[in-house]
Amino acid sequence: MGRGDADPRGRGDSLNPGPAALSAAAAALLAALLLLWLEDAGPGAGSSMAETEALPKLREDFRMQNKSVFILGASGETGRVLLKEILEQNLFSKVTLIGRRKLTFDEEAYKNVNQEVVDFEKLDDYASAFQGHDVGFCCLGTTRKKAGAEGFVRVDRDYVLKSAELAKAGGCKHFNLLSSKGADKSSNFLYLQVKGEVEARVEELQFERYSVFRPGVLLCDRQESRPGEWLVRKFFGSLPESWASGHSVPVATVVRAMLNNAVNPSGKKKELLDNNAIHDLGKANDSLEP
């Protein structure tokens, strides 16, 4: 048999693989692609069709529990959209905003929203503001450019951690933390380091349920002018959706993911939702407008 002749048993030689060898190679390639997909999905990523179809029932069951919720950072873009959707879905019997100033709302839908004004430098004096809430959403955050390095650490780490401690002491069972893609307490970048550190320290508080959301670049029309973020949003907005969605996400999608996750019971003490998981879970309902 010459070098170019096929093996009659279907195995082939190294230059001309037979059908069996080709099938094995195809199976190996398929397995490798499946492994890559699973790794990319990450823990808790995605929502099944069954989960999507069950959302109306999950929301109704959640409403029947008459739970109370607080929001930290409701004056920011994510907090603002989160509050709006919580009220529209009527998920909680009591909604409380905790912040450094009282917010003004003209719409009738906001008339029953409670507001607790606190001094974040003396949070222990305002422990009562954190009492009696079943669920908490923390959307607190600033930037190094706006507050300086020390101010950024104080807000994004110290304020968040102290608020979480008071919430836990006040009876909060499910704490939701808005973090960032790439958060890592070992990072050389201050922003990612602080985000990773506060994630870990809040976990040590041992909430009954702790959900961490790590979105990429948040796409929104921010009321506060941040030219750098405006350029980044325009950049991602010009990219193909399949690529941009891996590194950015609309604020409305983050909010949908947060609430869809909250109404869905979980046996896990900690849930980590990366940018892909946020996209998948946030697509379960496209009715939300930013």
Residues annotated as catalytic are 191, 195
Unique residue bearing structure tokens 């907090």: 79
CA 78 to chain centre: 11
Distance in angstroms (rounded) separating the CA atoms of residues 248 and 264: 24
Distance in angstroms (rounded) separating the CA atoms of residues 44 and 56: 20
Distance in angstroms (rounded) separating the CA atoms of residues 223 and 229: 12
Asked whether the beta carbons of 229 and 204 are under 8 A apart, the reply is no
Nearest by Cα to 199 from 274, 257, 266: 274
Give the other-Cβ count within 10 Å of 207's Cβ.
20
Give the other-Cβ count within 10 Å of 58's Cβ.
15
Look up residue 244 and give its two tokens: 């941009």
Distance in angstroms (rounded) separating the CA atoms of residues 53 and 26: 35
CA 212 to chain centre: 6
Asked whether the beta carbons of 194 and 153 are under 8 A apart, the reply is yes
Distance in angstroms (rounded) separating the CA atoms of residues 109 and 125: 30
Distance in angstroms (rounded) separating the CA atoms of residues 271 and 268: 7
